[in-house]
Structure 1
């Protein structure tokens, strides 16, 4: 016996989410069936709004509903530092520390020749252009994850940026090899930022 088509479609939709297998998707589908109509409507609207109301900031690449994003538009932030991260979600983890007050740049991933991801597939060109057009920037802090791809990306960026006489540092002390920024606690992230090293 098969589920009715609407249930099957809902299960298949949930399975498109990362880390969701068939059992979890089925459990979520049946939970959704039992939700109040109002809650289902709000859930549906939230899904639609992230597609229709959000875009990537043309300056830093962070997700935003305004242009430029709130961070880039804030003139009170330290205009001399850019902290480079892999994904927009990394910015929120770092912002929750409430101690870094500079700017950001989202690469959109890391260099990974095995997966066919080269410099042209990331927002590296946009970073270089920012550095060329902004004389205030004196330091680029590379905050890619402590993986082999993250390290390779950090070294690539350092070699690319150093000729411009801009200091390039790397997060250190606290982030273990293989650790993702988004899962690190605030104290670990604070130590990583404070203990950054020049590369």
Structure 2
């Protein structure tokens, strides 16, 4: 924002906010001005929350979900009511949280920390595929549910993992796809209808 007419400190704040995902130049400018206008305590509380999160939040030693330094194993992995042999594989912790909100999954998770995207420099070494394979080969997993996003990269990631584990006895499934309850065929996309037909069930 060189030459914007703002003070250098405000320019820096706006530029920094603009690096956040989903925040454009105008949104960054509005946020920066809001932070200047709000009470000092409120702004510093945000800064302290960011600092604390960066210092305290870590990845679970088992599933790579987010946890804190004083709890190296997350609450889900520690929950004895869950079935540790049923593992749902997701790309990010926010995907895990979406499934948890449904309140019906009895198993545990494995967070890949991304998906295969060669053009963005995301290969197997940047993911937690090796750790997932080690969990499976340890013999305690009976089923992997592939819950990667239903797009080209998500499906490619799931296929890569399935091939890596093809010589094991673990059952590999994926989330059902197709028509949502209450939807109409008229507004369904081609891919949605194709998945619905491929995943049809006995009536």
- Which range, TM-score by smaller chain? 0.7 to 0.9
Contiguous gaps of at least 5 residues in structure 1: 177-194
Q: Deviations over 1:145-176 (max 9, x none)?
A: 01101111111111222321110001122589
Normalising by the residue count of structure 2, what TM-score does the alignment of the two structures yield? Answer: 0.81
Q: Distance in 2 between matches of 1:123 and 1:175?
A: 31
Normalised TM-score (structure 1): 0.83
Task: Find the partner of 2:52 among 49, 54, 62.
Answer: 49
The structure whose RCO (Cα within 8 Å, separation 6+) is larger is 1
Change (3 A) 1:14 1:151: same
Give the number of equivalent residue pairs. 178
Q: In structure 1, which of residues 11, 33, 36 is the aligned counterpart of residue 36 of structure 2?
A: 33
Cα offset, 1:36, TM superposition: 1.2
1:94-138 superposed Cα distances (whole Å, 9 cap, x missing partner): 1111100211001111112333322222110000111122x3321
Q: Tell me the distance in 1 between the aligned counterparts of 2:166 and 2:131.
A: 16
| Root-mean-square deviation over aligned CA pairs | 2.0
SS at match of 2:144: strand
2:94 paired with 1:89: yes
Q: What's 1:106 paired with? A: 111
Q: Tell me the equivalent position of 2:76.
A: 71
Provide the residue aligned with 1:140 in structure 2. Answer: 144
Cross-structure match for 2:172: 168
Contact (CA 8 Å) 1:87, 1:108: kept in 2 or not?
yes
SS at match of 2:22: coil
State the alpha-carbon separation in 2 of the partners of residues 126 and 40 from structure 1.
39
The verdict on how the C-alpha distance between 1:115 and 1:40 changes in structure 2, with shifts beyond 3 A counting, is closer
